[in-house]
Amino acid sequence: MAKATFAAGCFWGVEATFRRLAGVLSTRVGYTGGQTAHPSYKDVCTDRTGHAEAVEVEYDQDKISYQQLLDVFWENHDPTTLNRQGPDWGAQYRSAIFFHTPEQEKLAQASKEALDQSGRFRKKIVTEILPAPVFYQAEDYHQQYLEKRGLATCHIK
């Protein structure tokens, strides 16, 4: 079992996307990358905590690779918009990869560079690639939010 952490806008849709993948064992949404200890959703929405809405993914490396998770991450949000995804704006909606191992860092950097050079996007990719700091789990009502409501997605591809 391994862990990966991604921020790609509103965590409800990001979590739903990763939960559907074969080899993903569990997910949880939360806040990471900021300076406020134990923030609440209300705190993070002030755009003053420095945290991003993020999804922590536990996965079976024998069934899905970190590279495959990266591919899903890049495919399911716009990594060229700074602090924004669709109608959601603020630093909490930034694009970020929080790596847990040197190998994850290497793969994340290489995939970002390859995508930037591919010409797929007209603008430069602004995704941050940072060491995974403390992850603060979001309130229970945010966990599997879309799944609980019978919805498939809330984000823009």
Instruction: List, by residue number, the catalytic residues.
Output: 10
The residue written with tokens 């809330």 in the block is: 154
Q: Are 69 and 97 in contact (CB under 8 A)?
A: no
The DSSP code for 124 is P
Q: For the chain, what's the residue count?
A: 157
Q: How far is CA 111 from CA 2, 63, 79, in A?
A: 19, 20, 12
Q: How many CB atoms lie within 10 A of CB 17?
A: 24
| 46 φ, ψ (degrees, to nearest 5) | -75, -15
Contact 59/25 with Cβ under 8 angstroms? yes
What's the rounded Cα separation, in Å, for the pair 92 and 107? 24
Structure token digits, residue 104: 């994850």
